[in-house]
Amino acid sequence: MEPSSSKPVSSSSWETGIEVGDATFPRGFWAYAWEGGPRLRMALLVSDRPATVAGRFTVNAAQAAPVQLCRRLVAGGVSQAAVINAGNANALTGAQGRADAERMQQLCGQALGIEPATVAVASTGVIGVPLPMAEIEAGIHYLAERYQMGAPSEGEKAARAILTTDTRPKTGALTVSLSGGTVRIGYMAKGSGMIHPGMATMLVFLTTDAAVAPAVLDRLVGEAVDASFHALSVDGDMSTNDTVLCWANGASGVVVEQAEDVQAFGAALTRLAQVAARQIAADGEGATHLITARVRGAQTVADARQKARAIIASALVKTAVYGRDPNWGRVLAAVGASGLPWDPARASLWMNGLCLYNQGVPLPFDEAEAKARMAAFEVVFEVALGEGEAEAEAWGCDLTEGYVDINAHYRT
Mean pLDDT of 47-76: 94
Q: Tell me whether strands 195-196 and 378-384 are parallel, antiparallel or unpaired.
A: unpaired
Share of the chain above pLDDT 70, in %: 92
* pLDDT bracket for residue 4 (50, 70, 90): very low
> 347 Cβ partners below 8 Å, 6+ apart?
332, 335, 357, 359, 360, 383, 384, 385, 386
* pTM over 0.85, yes/no: yes
Mean pLDDT of 19-39: 93
pLDDT digits (tens, 9 = 90+) for 375-399: 999 999 999 999 999 999 999 999 8
Contact assessment for residue 42 and residue 164, using Cβ atoms and an 8 Å cutoff: no
CA–CA dist 215, 80 (Å, integer): 18
Q: Is the pLDDT of residue 7 over 70?
A: no
Q: What is the mean pLDDT of the chain?
A: 91
Mean pLDDT of 37-60: 92
Instruction: Report the range of poorest mean pLDDT among 17-21, 140-144, 407-411.
Output: 407-411
Catalytic residues, which ones? 201
**Bridge partners of residue 247, in order along the sequence:** 53, 207
Tell me which amino acid residue 370 is.
A
Beta-carbon-side half-sphere exposure of residue 73 (alpha carbons within 13 Å) = 36
Query: What is the pLDDT, as a whole number, of residue 193?
Result: 52
Domains of the chain: 29-282 (3.60.70.12), 290-408 (3.10.20.340)
Contact assessment for residue 318 and residue 332, using Cβ atoms and an 8 Å cutoff: no
Q: Is the pLDDT of residue 244 over 60?
A: yes
Q: Is the pLDDT of residue 343 over 50?
A: yes
